[in-house]
Amino acid sequence: MPSGAIFVFDPSYPSAEVALPLEPVRHVIVSTRLIEPPPGHRTLRLREVDGPGALAGNLRILRAARRDCRPTRCVVIGTKKTRREQTLLNILYAAALGVPVQLFDGEHMSPLVWRDQFYGLARFAAHVVMDPCRSAVRHWRLRWKAGKIGRAGRLAGVYGRRKRFSLPLDKATAATPRRSLYGRWGDGWYLSDLSHHPLTYRMQTSRHRLSDVILHVEAVAGGSVSSLFKDGRLLDYPYFISKRNKNNVHTISGCEKLFFLKNGVDLLFFFSGYWHWLIEAVPRILDLLDDGVDFSVWPLIVPRLEPFQRQFFQLFGIDAAHHVVELNPGDCCRLAECLVPTAYFPFGTDELDDYSGQPSGALLGRIRDAVLARLPPADPQALPAPRRLYISRERAGRRKLVNEGQITDALRKLGFVKVILEDLPWLEQVRLFAQAEFIVGMHGAGLGNMVFSSSASLVEFFNPLEVRAYFAVMARELDMDYAYVICRPGSEDTGFDDLRIDVGAVVDLIRRMDADRGLGPSNSPLPPRAASTIIDEFPK
C-alpha cells in the first residue's frame, strides 16, 4: 500500500458542512460514519465511542493504519458548528498517530495549540454540569408562567426523552446504491456533507390516527416550530427520534390562544421553508388525496400560508378558506381526532445524519408528475421559455455573488438566461423549470424547483462554509449530470454572505459538460463498504 498519506478526521453530525481543498497527495478520510471518499482517495471507518472498549479499539485501528500508510500529518475538521467533544476526540486520535496535527475551521489551516483545546475541554465540562441546572430553571419559570395562562397552559415546560411517547417508525428498506454525489466533475475537494449519502432507501409510509391531542406553534429564532402533545407529553416525531439526540431538550412556551376542532391533519412541521414544504409536505398531501380524505371533514392544519402554497392548493382543488386551518405562533389547537401522515425518509437509520436529505427518485418523480399533470397550459402568445437557466440570488438576503455582473455576462454568452424567481408566480416557476435543459445557480431553496425539470445538467455554486447535499442527491435521483463550483469569500468582513465565483472555472466546466453531454451520467454503483477497514484502493 502506498505511504505518505494525509489523514483527515471528519466531524460527526452535526457536520461541519465545509469544503476542504485537497492537496495533490493521497488522503485517508477517518470517520465514524458511512461515507464515500473523494475520487482517488480512501476512507477509514472507526466505531462510535460508547465506552472505553470502543475508544481502545479505535486506537488499535489507527495504529494499524499508521503502519500501513505511514502518514505525514493529520488534519482535524472542526468549526463552530461541530460538537466540541467530537473535535477533541478527533484531536486525541490524530495525536495518537505521532505526526503533526493541524486544525481546519472551514477557512484556515492552523497548527494545533493544546492550550486552546484544554480551554475548550474545560468549557465543555462546564456545559455538562450547568446545562441540567439551566434546564431546571427554564422548567420552573415556564411552569410558573403557565399557571397564569389557564388550563391549556399546563402543557408549557421543558420536555426531553423521558417526557414523550413515539409513533412507530416506518419500514425502511435499503435499495441499490446509486452513483457518487461527487459526480464526474468533483476532483480536488472533500465535501463532508456530500460524502455521507452513498445509500438509498425505499419507504413504506403510514397515516397515524391519534385521539385527544394538542398541536402547538411557537416562534423560535425567527421561524415557526410546532409540537404535538398527548397526555401532557411531547411527541418528538419525526426529527427528534434519532439515537443521536438522546439528550435533546425542547422548550415549549405558554399557550396564548386555544382552538378546539373535532378532526384535523397535522402538517405544521412541514411548511417551514420552500424546500421542506416541497419535499416533505407535498408528498403527504398527495398521499391524503390518494386516500380520498375529505378535507371538509379533515382540514389541513398548517402555519400561515405563503403565496406559493395557496397556488398549490388551488391547483389541486383544495379550498384554503374551508379546507385549511392556519395557526399563528403562540396558538394551540386541541383535536378530538388527528391524522399524522409520515414521510418518505428513513428516520432512525443509523447510517444517515440528515434523513430528510434522502428523497428517492420515485418520490421526486411523483411530485413532478402530479404537479405537471395539473399545470394550466401556457399563454400561446408568450415567448418560448429559455432552455438554459441561471438562477440569480441578487435579491436574496444571503449567499450573494459580489461579481454577479461578470458571471451573468459570461453565462449569457453560453446561452443562459438570468432568472430571478422572486419576480415569478410559483406556477410560472414550475413551467420554467419543466422546460429547462441546463440549470446553474447558487445553493438555495429556489433550486428545489429542479424537481419539475427533466434537465440533463446542474451546476451548483457553494459557499465554502455551507456545503449541503440536498440538490446533489436530487440530481442523482433525477439522473442529472451534476457538478459544483466552490466560491470564495468576497471580503474578510462578510465572507459568509458575500461570495466571489471564479468565472473562468464556471465557463470551462459548462463547456466540458456540454461537450460530454452525449455520454450521459454514469450509473455505476458504489463499491461495497466495510466497517473498521481501509477501503477504496488508491489508483496504481
From first to last of the 540 residues of the chain, give the pLDDT tens digit: 456 899 999 987 666 788 999 988 899 999 988 888 988 899 999 998 878 888 999 999 999 999 988 899 999 998 877 777 788 889 989 999 999 999 998 888 888 877 777 776 677 677 667 766 776 776 666 556 555 544 444 444 444 545 556 677 788 888 877 788 888 887 789 998 888 887 788 888 889 999 998 888 876 655 667 778 777 666 654 444 344 444 445 555 556 677 899 999 999 877 778 988 999 899 999 999 999 999 999 999 998 899 999 999 999 999 999 999 998 887 888 899 999 998 888 876 777 777 777 888 889 999 999 999 999 987 777 777 889 999 999 887 778 898 999 999 999 999 999 999 999 999 999 999 999 999 999 998 899 999 999 888 999 999 888 888 999 999 999 999 999 999 987 665 544 678 899 999 999 999 999 998 753 333 333 333 233 233 333 232
The three cell numbers locating residue 32: 465514524
Q: How far is CA 85 from CA 37, 94, 121, in A?
A: 24, 14, 8
pLDDT of residue 29: 94
**Residues spanned by CATH 3.40.50.720 within the chain?**
375-519
Q: How many Cα atoms occupy the beta-carbon half-sphere of 379 within 13 Å? A: 5
Q: How far is CA 356 from CA 11, 276, 288, 373, 469, in A?
A: 20, 8, 20, 25, 11
Q: What class has domain 375-519?
A: alpha beta
pLDDT of residue 441: 95
Positions of E strands within 469-514 = 481-486, 488-489, 498-500
pLDDT of residue 109: 87
SS3 303: strand
Write the DSSP string, 252-277: E---SEEEEEEEEEE-GGG-SSHHHI
CB atoms within 10 A of CB 191: 24
For residue 196, give the nearest of 54, 21, 11, 365 by alpha carbon. 11
Residue owning grid cell 484502493: 537
Q: What is the pTM of this model?
A: 0.85
All residues at 6 or more sequence positions from 46 whose CB lies less than 8 Å from its CB, including other chains: 30, 31, 32, 58, 61, 62, 93, 532
CB atoms within 10 A of CB 402: 16
